[in-house]
Amino acid sequence: MERLWAPWRMEFILNEKPSWCIFCLGEVQSEEAEKERLVLHRDTLSFVMMNRYPYTTGHLLVSPYRHVSTLQDLTPDEMLQLFENVRLACDVTTKALSAQGFNIGLNVGKVAGAGVADHLHIHIVPRWVGDANFMTVITDVRVIPEGLLATYEKFLPFFREACRTAER
């Protein structure tokens, strides 16, 4: 019998969900605190972080700082920067993980599947040819081949370089 190990999922299943919003980050914290929250990039109005319970390796989330639940609640500047950071996240994921495509989406409202319905966020799910194998089709299970912190460490230098390049 073969076994599929995904021990990080047990944390999600058993742990009490936080009483605070995971997207309400506040001020920039120490590098270690940012790593613990899986924050990869902060901009003036929005930020990029990794999904702690990813659909696949490199699953990112882009969110405004402001606690809003719909696209209509965003200011034009927030909307622009949000999608600039979606583009940045795709560029970095292509470089860092050799992503060949992306599923990009928002679940607006609880009935649409939003896990955090009252703080808008965009999912960026990298894709590769052949990434949906028999595990997904037969057992409704996704295999995440790399740990979160290993992926975080792969991403971080690319986000830092992109910020340095943008400042020039």
Q: Which residues are catalytic?
A: 121
DSSP the chain: ------THHHHHHHSPPPSS-TT---S---HHHHHHTTEEEE-SSEEEEE-SS-SSTT-EEEEESS--SSGGGS-HHHHHHHHHHHHHHHHHHHHHH---EEEEEE--SGGGT-SSTTS--EEEEEE-TT-S-HHHHHHS-----S-HHHHHHHHHHHHHHHHHHHH-
